[in-house]
């Protein structure tokens, strides 16, 4: 009788194990369909460590990449994303999704990267200059960084350029303690000012922030205006949004939930604006002004942007992915000055003196 009972128990265990394996396969298939490519860390590894924040963040950035790519493709059905998975020999890798020369989007890139290894001295110096006390062991600082980053350059000058980036960073110090922080933001760069769009964009981001703390939106809106400042031009890159960095309180879980809300706000804050203007008519003069504004975008990204600088200073980083943020076309004209009280002068006024869009 005991043997029969044992046989039954083994049979039951086998059936349960079989069901669990089938469930895992089903889950894996579903995840594969949900993402643009298999995750850098591998689905099995992510599932094994699914309670760890690193794994949850990787799943969030993969989901965000897929959501944004699908939303853009739906607006530009003739175009498709080239999906490029790459590996970094120093550790980790990424997935670059780039759409070029569509009907609606001239260039749109949505990148995910999950990298680890040792921080270069140059990158560590840049972090220390931001007030991080990093204690290296024999000059070595193990790190892990992951994020999703996107820049979307539409063809029509009445559709704004949009950028977002959400990232997580972890550093292990000499004594084994880990420093961690999140950073990110979403911002809009219109060629021409449309107040209704500006209000919609900022309100959507404010709602995402307000779920967590009403003090966050005004703080991160100001940070965004200050960060995207082209000093040598005396103007902002665009009409802002939110931007934050080195965020490590109140707790890892609370900051992660805040970042998740911000990432989920990307599609609703931008896609309705694209839908509204993608068929607007425009003149050659308006196209020219867009090209000149794109030039300013390039100036900011190459001279001031911290993410670009960090990427260029990280050994083994993928230059194509870092410079994906640059437009396909741009223009620099000598001494170009728009006419007073023109629509071109109107946007310049807002870039020089940021506005409060939500009150």
Where residue 199 sits, what CATH number does that domain have? 3.40.1500.10
Average pLDDT rounded to a whole number, residues 289-315: 91
Asked if residue 334 is part of any domain, the answer here is yes
174 has pLDDT over 70? yes
Asked if residue 130 has pLDDT above 80, the reply is no
- 8 in a domain, yes or no? no
For residues 92 and 52, give the distance between their C-alpha atoms in angstroms, rounded to a whole number. 17
153 is catalytic: no
CB-based contact 151:163 (threshold 8 Å): yes
Is 294 part of any domain? Answer: yes
Residue pair 169/181 in contact by the 8 Å Cβ criterion: yes
Q: Inform me whether the pLDDT recorded for 2 exceeds 70.
A: no
Q: Is residue 26 part of a domain?
A: no
Cα 176 from chain centroid (whole Å): 29
Distance CA 13, CA 209 (A): 47
Q: How many Cα atoms sit within 13 Å of 189 on the Cβ side?
A: 29
In a domain, residue 108? The reply is yes
Averaged pLDDT for residues 215-234: 97
Residue 86 lies in a domain: yes
Give the full edge-to-edge strand order of the sheet including 82-87. 82-87, 92-100, 105-118, 142-154, 161-172, 178-189, 241-247
Beta pairing partners, 188: 162
Number of domains in the chain: 1
Q: What is the pLDDT of residue 317?
A: 81
Position 297 scores a pLDDT of 96
The per-residue pLDDT for 1 is 66
Q: Which of 163, 200, 202, 277 is catalytic?
A: 163
Confidence of residue 270 (pLDDT cuts 50, 70, 90): very high
pLDDT at 28: 67
Q: Residue 325 above 80 pLDDT?
A: yes
Look up the domain containing 345 and give its range: 33-352
Q: Is residue 19 part of a domain?
A: no
37 in any annotated domain? yes
Half-sphere exposure in the Cβ direction for 328 (13 Å, CA):
14
Query: Of residues 140 and 230, which shows the higher confidence score?
Result: 230
Supply the DSSP string of 198-220, one letter for each residue: HHHHHHHHHHHHHTT-TTHHHHH
CB atoms < 10 A from the CB of 256, how many?
A: 16
Pair of tokens at residue 188: 């809009």
């Amino acid at each position: 009788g005991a043997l029969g009972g044992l046989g039954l128990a083994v049979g039951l265990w086998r059936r349960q194990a079989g069901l669990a394996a089938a469930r895992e396969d089903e889950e894996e298939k579903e995840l594969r369909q949900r993402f643009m490519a298999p995750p850098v860390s591998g689905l099995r590894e992510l599932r094994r460590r699914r309670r760890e924040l690193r794994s949850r963040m990787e799943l969030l950035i993969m989901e965000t990449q897929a959501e944004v790519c699908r939303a853009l493709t739906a607006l530009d059905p003739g175009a498709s994303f080239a999906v490029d998975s790459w590996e970094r020999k120093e550790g980790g890798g990424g997935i670059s999704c780039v759409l070029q020369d569509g009907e609606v989007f001239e260039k749109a890139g949505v990148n995910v990267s999950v990298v680890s290894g040792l921080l270069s001295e140059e990158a560590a110096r840049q972090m220390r200059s931001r007030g991080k006390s990093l204690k290296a062991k024999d000059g070595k600082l193990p790190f892990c960084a992951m994020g999703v980053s996107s820049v979307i350059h539409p063809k029509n000058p009445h559709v704004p350029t949009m950028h977002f980036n959400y990232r997580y960073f972890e550093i292990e110090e000499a004594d084994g303690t880990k420093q961690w922080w999140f950073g990110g933001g979403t911002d809009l760069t219109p060629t021409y000012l449309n107040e209704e769009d500006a209000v919609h964009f900022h309100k959507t981001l404010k709602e995402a922030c307000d779920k967590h703390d009403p003090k966050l939106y005004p703080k991160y809106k100001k940070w965004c205006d200050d960060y995207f400042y082209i000093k040598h031009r005396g103007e902002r890159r665009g009409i802002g949004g939110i931007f934050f960095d080195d965020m490590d309180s109140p707790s890892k879980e609370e900051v992660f939930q805040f970042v998740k809300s911000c990432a989920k706000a990307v599609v609703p804050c931008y896609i309705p604006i694209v839908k509204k203007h993608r068929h607007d008519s425009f003149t050659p003069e308006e196209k020219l002004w867009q090209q000149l504004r794109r030039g300013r975008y390039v100036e900011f990204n190459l001279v001031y942007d911290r993410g670009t600088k960090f990427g260029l200073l990280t050994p083994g980083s993928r230059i194509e992915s870092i410079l994906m943020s640059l437009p396909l076309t741009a223009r620099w004209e000598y001494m170009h000055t728009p006419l007073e009280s023109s629509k071109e002068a109107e946007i310049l006024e807002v870039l020089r003196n940021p506005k409060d869009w939500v009150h």
